[in-house]
Each structure stands twice: as C-alpha cells, then as structure tokens.
C-alpha cells in the first residue's frame, strides 16, 4: 500500500496534514508512536486539532500491525456481523 489514503479512516485532508509533518506513506506510520504523531499534528493543525485524530492514529497502528489489506479487513468485519443484521 503506497498511499496514506489507502489506510482506513485517512482521507485527503488528514493525509495532507500527515504529509506536512513528513509522513508521506503508510510505511512512515509503522512503528510510530500515535501520541507523538498526534502531538506533532496538533501543532500543525492549530484550531482544527481534534482528539478523534488520535483515535484514528491508534486504529491505523493496529491495522498496520495486523498486516491486513483493505479487502481482507472488509471480509473479516463482514464475517463478524450476525446473520440477522444482513436482513436489515
């Protein structure tokens, strides 16, 4: 996966913010400390600082550590949905 926007919960805006602090690929996030990255982003984002960004960074760290791609993640989540929910 070469693009930040290929990661779950990272759209164009947050990808641009991450790139502004030197994180340009998913590889740059691997092994990084989400709290440190969030702190660096908070300085850069100013008034747009949002604690939800920290939670997104935690989820991305987990996603990268699990070694799944988006298709595998979607299938895994779909398998956990109870059959009764499929009828809704």
List pLDDT tens digits, range 29-47: 988 999 999 999 988 888 7
Provide mean pLDDT across the span 45-52.
Answer: 80
Q: What is the pLDDT of residue 75?
A: 57
* Mean pLDDT, the chain, integer: 81
Euclidean distance between CA atoms 65 and 59, whole angstroms: 10
List pLDDT tens digits, range 10-34: 999 999 999 999 999 999 998 899 9
pLDDT bucket at 70, cuts 50 / 70 / 90: low
Helix extents (H) in 22-82: 26-29, 34-45, 51-66, 70-80
């Amino acid at each position: 996966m070469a693009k930040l926007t290929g990661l779950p919960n990272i759209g164009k805006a947050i990808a641009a913010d991450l790139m502004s602090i030197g994180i340009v690929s998913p590889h740059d996030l691997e092994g990084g400390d989400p709290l440190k990255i969030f702190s660096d982003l908070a300085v850069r984002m100013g008034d747009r600082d949002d604690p939800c960004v920290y939670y997104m960074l935690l989820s991305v760290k987990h996603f990268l550590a699990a070694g799944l791609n988006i298709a595998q993640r979607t299938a895994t989540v779909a398998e956990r949905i109870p059959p009764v929910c499929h009828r809704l």
